[in-house]
Structure 1
Amino acid sequence: MQDDFDIGNVGANDTDLATDETAPQEPSDVGASGGPPRVRIERFPVCPESMREYIPCLDNEDDIKRLPSTERGERFERHCPAKDKGLSCLVPAPNGYKAPIPWPRSRDEVWFSNVPHTRLIDDKGGQNWITKVKDKFRFPGGGTQFIHGANQYLDQISQMVPNVAFGSHTRVVLDVGCGVASFGAYLLSRDVLTLSIAPKDVHENQIQFALERGVPAMAAAFATRRLLYTSQAFDIIHCSRCRINWTRDGEL
């Protein structure tokens, strides 16, 4: 495999992190050594700043507008653009983005500039979810149903259901409507791996907080489609006031 190639010119609005594999490759003159023709690889430009929060399969407004109904949360499901309508630019990082704080410190604090959203502080300030201290977000460990902290909540679950046995009987958990993912963050110290999911809704993209903290997470919603996991992929499915009507369609 040849790895000898010329890189296209990089402008002020280009990135050096990826190349456009769909761009035509233009043969250049044969090198002085008489080797194979060299090719120029064009680069993806950076998208406009207005697209900093853009997620192609969740912000596809054209397809969302054509939905016959959104009463059951269909707009929060994935609606990926057609192959010929994909992005031809890279979504930019937030202004002032820094290297993430490493785990385990990231469980308790992340840089504000990396996830510059404050609505959760306004909406959930009394539930001990998240606070802003100078240039960082702090996570006290609380949640809607466990304002006194995830650790205490996990202890209570263990007392009520001893067979849950976090770290032995229970090793893989799905947390639905995860908020800032404190439930999953504190389970990591109990040898439990949690996938935290939440929709991209009026509370901005909560999943960004989870990922910035170092917790496995994905933007997803339980609406009209199943997630792409088998029925026994998780030992426990946790829903703390996630407002999902589990029996709406006649079955769990």
Structure 2
Amino acid sequence: MALKPNSADGRTRSWVQIFIVFGLCCFFYILGAWQRSGFGKGDSIALEITKHGADCNIIPSLNFETHHAGEVGNVGESEKIKSFQPCPPRYVDYTPCQDQKRAMTFPRDNMIYRERHCPREEEKLHCLVPAPKGYVTPFPWPKSRDYVPYANAPYKALTVEKAIQNWIQYEGNVFRFPGGGTQFPQGADKYIDQLAAVIPITNGTVRTALDTGCIGCELGGILVE
């Protein structure tokens, strides 16, 4: 004989399930709001470390005076500063440890030729690498973060290779670095503003930021500003 299902028990179970789901939703909502507020356990630990670190005592016995012998300006004949003559003009783009012609002489196995190879002692140049023709004084910070005079690096190949990645643009007589690349299409500054909404960046709690991407250091440059 089949048993007739009890409709009252079914309704009770449904209400219990609804109550459990509603309770879990409320719990995770409150948990997310608490974490977003920046008052998690990790933040409280960092605040305590910052507080105690600010109250450090200076040892009174420390001596900051110089301890080297002799006086500044008394340079012997054998210690005179050496002067170097300019290198020939063909070395205008010379970078000792990243010399492309020298790199191509190394083995291709395991991409060895792509590694950094500095010249041996007998291969080192003892002259001053000349500046490019038309070289001008670089812009002061923070403008130098976003602009570089074209005359100081007169090559446009990178603006073509990276045209769609928003890394570098040629504008008039300067190179402009928009910032952001492909990862931050709106710019690294907008990304940092979003981080500041959930992370206490401006009050000194966060002291270290790891930029693990390959976007040309825009994140670090914006943070420095």
- TM-score tier by shorter-chain length is 0.5 to 0.7
1:186 maps to 2:222: yes
Which residue of the other structure, out of 103, 116, 119, is the alignment partner of 1:78?
Answer: 116
Aligned to 1:14: none
Q: Which residue of 1 aligns with 2:25?
A: none
Considering fraction of residues, name the structure with more strand: 1
What are the residue-to-residue correspondences of 1:89-128 with 2, within 5 Å? 89-128=127-166
How far did 1:102 drift? 0.5
Distance 1:66 1:126, change over 3 A: closer
How far off is 1:49 after superposition? Answer: 2.5
Shift in Å, 1:83:
1.6
Aligned residue type for 2:117 = H
TM-score by length of 1: 0.49
Structure 2 residue 208 is the aligned partner of structure 1 residue 171? yes
| Structure 1 residues 128 and 172, CA gap change in structure 2 (3 angstroms) | same
Aligned to 1:134: 172
The structure 1 residue matched to 2:90, chosen from 50, 61, 69, is 50
Alpha-carbon distance in structure 1 between the residues aligned to 2:114 and 2:223? 27
Q: Which secondary structure does the structure 1 equivalent of 2:151 belong to?
A: helix
Amino acid at match of 1:57: C
Give the 4+ runs in structure 1 shifted more than 6 A.
39-42
Q: Partner amino acid for 1:81?
A: P
Q: CA offsets, 1:154-190, max 9 Å, x none? A: 344556xx458475324354555343x322221212x
What is aligned with 2:125?
Answer: 87
Amino acid in the other structure paired with 2:222: Y
Contact 2:168–2:178 at 8 Å: present in 1 too? yes
Give the % identical residues: 38
Quick check: 1:111–1:135 contact (8 Å CA) kept in 2? yes
Matching of residue 144 in structure 1 with residue 144 in structure 2: no
Does the 8 Å CA contact 1:96/1:114 hold for their aligned counterparts? yes
Q: Which has the higher helix share?
A: 2
Aligned partners of 2:144 and 2:80: how far apart in 1?
40
Once the 2 structures are TM-superposed, how far is the Cα of residue 133 of structure 1 from its aligned partner? 2.1
How many Å apart are 1:143 and its aligned residue? 0.6
1:67 pairs, out of 107, 112, 120, with: 107
Q: What amino acid does structure 2 have at the position aligned with 1:93?
A: A
**What is the alpha-carbon distance in structure 2 between the residues aligned to residue 135 and residue 118 of structure 1?**
11
How far residue 101 of structure 1 moved from its aligned partner, in angstroms, is 0.7
Q: Greater shift after overlay, 120-129 or 169-178?
A: 169-178
Structure 1: gaps of 5 or more residues? 6-24, 26-38, 190-252
CA distance in 1, matches of 2:149, 2:108: 40
> Aligned with 2:148: secondary structure?
strand
